[in-house]
């Protein structure tokens, strides 16, 4: 490993390691741990990045398939984000993204994973979240963003809204990250089509199992192996 390059990357990400740390027996491990940390984080917001999100999503699907516990995936967009960039500049747009990221983190539980998966796109994985509480949690996130005043570096005060879609991981069924995300995205598109600044969730945690998920289930069945 090129230590100078590694330290340069860490300094750029805000990790300044003092020389005394590097000279200690655990110095190299400290550098490696810090590199692993920044590789899983979004540089702008500090949230989990897309790669980390996809790994966590796959783990959660496995957990739900084994335990049968409910789990909710929320996907969300900042509404009319292009207008913010066009009217106030990209620096202000970045500040809105950071502010929304902070509000998401403040509103969910420590066990939930919040990720930035695109420009103005976020996702939240909520383990052990039943349909009884899902709507309340999602609308609490939406409401917090709507009511916030975001002050930019230019002194402008902005307000933003978000649209949220949500889907449950099929319980006791082996699904896939792509299928689960597509379900949540369909609800997100519905929220946008209905006027934005709203939450649209699948009706219950006992989601209808798709044909693709049935194929996965039968493919993993011992009986299928003997056909």
Which positions are annotated as active-site residues?
120
- The conformational region for residue 196 under phi > 0 = left, psi -120 to 50 = alpha, else beta, is left
DSSP symbol at 103: H
**50 half-sphere exposure, CB direction, 13 A CA radius:** 7
Closest CA to 191 of 148, 135, 147, 144: 135
Can you tell me the distance from the alpha carbon of 161 to that of 89, in angstroms, rounded to the nearest whole number? 18
Q: Which residues contact 51 (CB under 8 A, 6 or more apart)?
A: 39, 40
Cα 58 to Cα 54, 121, 127, 153, 163: the distances in Å are: 6, 19, 12, 38, 24
């Amino acid at each position: 490993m090129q230590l100078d390059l590694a330290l340069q990357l860490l300094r750029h990400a805000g990790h300044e390691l003092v020389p005394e740390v590097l000279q200690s027996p655990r110095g190299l491990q400290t550098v490696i741990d810090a590199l692993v940390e920044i590789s899983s984080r979004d540089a702008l917001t500090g949230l989990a990045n897309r790669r980390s999100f996809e790994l966590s999503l796959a783990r959660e699907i496995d957990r739900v398939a084994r335990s049968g516990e409910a789990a909710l995936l929320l996907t969300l967009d900042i509404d009319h984000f292009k207008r913010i960039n066009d009217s106030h500049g990209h620096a202000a747009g970045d500040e809105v993204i950071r502010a929304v990221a902070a509000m998401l983190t403040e509103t969910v539980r420590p066990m939930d994973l919040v990720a930035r998966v695109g420009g103005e796109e976020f996702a939240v994985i909520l383990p052990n979240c039943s349909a009884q509480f899902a709507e309340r949690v999602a609308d609490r996130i939406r409401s917090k963003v709507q009511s916030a005043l975001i002050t930019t570096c230019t002194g402008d005060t902005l307000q933003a809204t978000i649209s949220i879609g949500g889907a449950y991981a099929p319980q006791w069924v082996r699904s896939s990250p792509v299928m689960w995300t597509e379900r949540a995205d369909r609800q997100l598109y519905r929220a946008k089509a209905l006027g934005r600044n709203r939450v649209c969730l699948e009706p219950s945690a006992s989601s209808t199992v798709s044909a693709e998920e049935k194929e996965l289930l039968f493919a993993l069945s011992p009986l299928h192996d003997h056909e």
